[in-house]
Structure 1
Amino acid sequence: MTAQLSVSWLSKAPTVPERFVPSGARICPTTLTTSATLSSQSPTIQIVGVKSPSWQENGCANSNTFHGDQGESTWADLDTDLYYWTKAIRPVQWFPGHIAKAEKELKEQLKLMDVVIEVRDARIPMSTSHPQMDLWLGNKKRILVLNREDMISTADRNAWAAYYARQGIKVVFSNGQLGMGTMKLGRLAKTLAVDVNVKRRAKGLLARPVRAGIVGYPNVGKSSLINRLLKRKMCPAAPRPGVTRELRWVRFGKDLELLDSPGILPMRLSDQSAAIKLAICDDIGERSYDVADVAAILVQMLTRLPLVGADALHKRYRIDADVLSGTTFVEKLALSLFNGDVHQAAFRILADFRKGKFGWTALERPPR
């Protein structure tokens, strides 16, 4: 069934919002007829000046360009465009009151920890890295956990594994929901802190359990990871940020204690490209961002990701990602499925990405 576009809608639709056009591009809209439908010929918009020749003359996306290109230049160009896309939208900022209190308490507890387990979202490892974490930890032993490994491709996983191996960082890939990687994590934590009790015995002190603190951004899966380690639900966990609000020590067997901590964010998110990725991956409160803006940027990212492309969007919604404007795509989806409700359409796109409806893929690759 086709959805007829009204004259009033068409009068507003032709232009692509400049805030979502990559740097260096210019838009040349042609005349649109009032008889256009969503399933018939789409508005013809020519994008010129884009770095990669990935758009056909009639404005339709040539998604095959990106499916075959796994090179670093694709990701570098995407990062550059994302920087400019975020310039014209409302800044994403989120710092609930409980985070300030939790951060202060965490800094005190860090002094008691033998090893720190930092959990990040495997889809966005760089964006879920706290800028002050290195300063807080100093020379303390650390294990990096990339959680939700089931939500990224094998190519993504291999790229990040090689990147951290070159830096000599011990990394564990895990799935906190299913428990993959948790036993390896427990063994590694005990191994890194084995010298704790050696030193205590040398001083004539009794052995004690190794203390491991689990830290990271909101909703990256810290509590779920602990529950899987313990094989029972000891810490509250839910698929939304801000569930854990207090620090809590729990015992894992006789020789390991784990500290579950609330998600810690910087007071100000100065990197808005990272902030947008946090919003896309649901690692930040929904009130902190405009859902329609974030969904529009996600659409533009998906059309350019090597493992997704415009074909995946068309297959899911039967709508062509035919212009370099995520806003236009969201509006089309709203008319097609939600009686013009842009908010519902935007939320559907974000929810589908989070559920892997476009395939599992990371939104970041290691820096050069």
Structure 2
Amino acid sequence: MSQPLIQWYPGHIAKAEKALSEQLKRVDVVIEVRDARIPIASTHPKIATWTEGRSHLLVMNRLDMISGLHQKQLQRWFNQQEQEVFFTNAKDGDGIKQLLKAAQVAGIRVNERRHSRGMLPRPVRAAVIGFPNVGKSALINRLLNRRVAESSNRPGVTRQLRWIRISDAIELLDTPGNLPSLLGDQDAAVKLAICDDIGQAAYDNVLIAAAAVDKFKEIGVPLHIKYGISAKELSGMEYIEAVAKSDRYNGDFKRVADLILHDFRKGRLGAIALEYPFTEI
């Protein structure tokens, strides 16, 4: 049996999940942050448990990395699932005001219920949850309108649970990237790796770049415009080899693999979504 492309080890994950579960007992609202390019792969398998009995604000971050048409199709699809969704670009602040307003409305509802039970009002408690590097810390910084959460394009920058006061009305629980302890879906894990939403220690860049090329071919990304070679008749690995053999790269497979992944992650190949839950693609 061949080794899976993505591997991580559950050593610290169970401990982190236990700490999160304890804190979630105090939470009124779960703000789930996903990567808009992979709206299904970037949801945690335990999210239904974590949102049970709480308001669930679903955020599709990296709005700038998908097309306007794809956003509209996703919006329609989630609405059909009876799930409200917010689209954000935490880097530039797009969509933050709408999300903050929704969190404030959730807080009003919480305190209406408390009042009906004869309890005093308090700030709404919201937890921000998502895979590493989907933009949670950048989102929190935008919600606070100041830098309090360390933000980076490296997965796993946030290391511990902590509460942050946004205002007299809202407190936020900033959580480390939430990885499932077991990998049940390699296809989803590969998409997370392509999008840089899990740590690079879990995979080999060359293998993931090859998988990315295969995915790009499937959805019609014109790689020849960027790299001068058509991928039409080649597998992902064959394509990396072909580009690496050109004079510019001197046979350096890893350099080409790193470049392809970097170009995709920086949007240099265009606005590309890897998942289309509303179609058969």
Q: Settle same-fold status: TM greater than 0.5.
A: yes
The residue type equivalent to 1:313 in the other structure is L
| Aligned mate of 1:164, from 54, 75, 78 | 78
Taking the aligned partners of 1:177 and 1:98, their CA distance within structure 2 comes to 29
The yes-or-no answer on 1:153 pairing with 2:64 is no
The yes-or-no answer on 1:352 pairing with 2:263 is yes
The yes-or-no answer on 1:332 pairing with 2:237 is no
Taking the aligned partners of 2:10 and 2:174, their CA distance within structure 1 comes to 18
- What CA deviation, in whole Å up to 9, does each residue of 1:22-79 have, x standing for no partner? xxxxxxxxxxxxxxxxxxxxxxxxxxxxxxxxxxxxxxxxxxxxxxxxxxxxxxxxxx
1:213 matched to which residue of 2?
Answer: 127
Is the 1:94–1:284 Cα contact (8 Å) retained in structure 2? no
Taking the aligned partners of 2:124 and 2:232, their CA distance within structure 1 comes to 56
2:275 matched to which residue of 1?
Answer: 364
Taking the aligned partners of 2:275 and 2:227, their CA distance within structure 1 comes to 25
Taking the aligned partners of 2:232 and 2:115, their CA distance within structure 1 comes to 69
Q: Secondary structure at the match of 2:245?
A: helix
Let me know the Cα RMSD of the aligned residues.
1.7
After TM superposition, the score normalised by the length of structure 1 is: 0.72
- Alpha-carbon spacing, 1:339–1:366, altered in 2? closer, same or farther (3 Å): same
- What CA deviation, in whole Å up to 9, does each residue of 1:71-104 have, x standing for no partner? xxxxxxxxxxxxxxxx956431224754333211
- In the comparison of the two structures, how many residue pairs are matched? 278
Gaps of 5+ in 2: none
- Mapping for residues 1-20 of structure 1, pairs under 5 Å: none
Is the 2:13–2:180 Cα contact (8 Å) retained in structure 1? no
The percentage of aligned residue pairs carrying the same residue is 49
1:194 matched to which residue of 2?
Answer: 108
The yes-or-no answer on 1:134 pairing with 2:48 is yes
Gaps of 5+ in 1: 1-86
Moved more, 92-101 or 213-222: 92-101
After TM superposition, the score normalised by the length of structure 2 is: 0.93
Deviation at 1:318, TM superposition (A): 1.1
Q: Secondary structure at the match of 2:122?
A: coil
The yes-or-no answer on 1:179 pairing with 2:93 is yes
Large movers: runs of 4+ above 6 Å = none
Is the 2:107–2:123 Cα contact (8 Å) retained in structure 1? no
| Higher gyration radius (CA) | 1
Taking the aligned partners of 2:48 and 2:60, their CA distance within structure 1 comes to 17
Taking the aligned partners of 1:207 and 1:239, their CA distance within structure 2 comes to 38
- What CA deviation, in whole Å up to 9, does each residue of 1:285-344 have, x standing for no partner? 1121121111112112112214x2xxx311111122242311111012212232211111
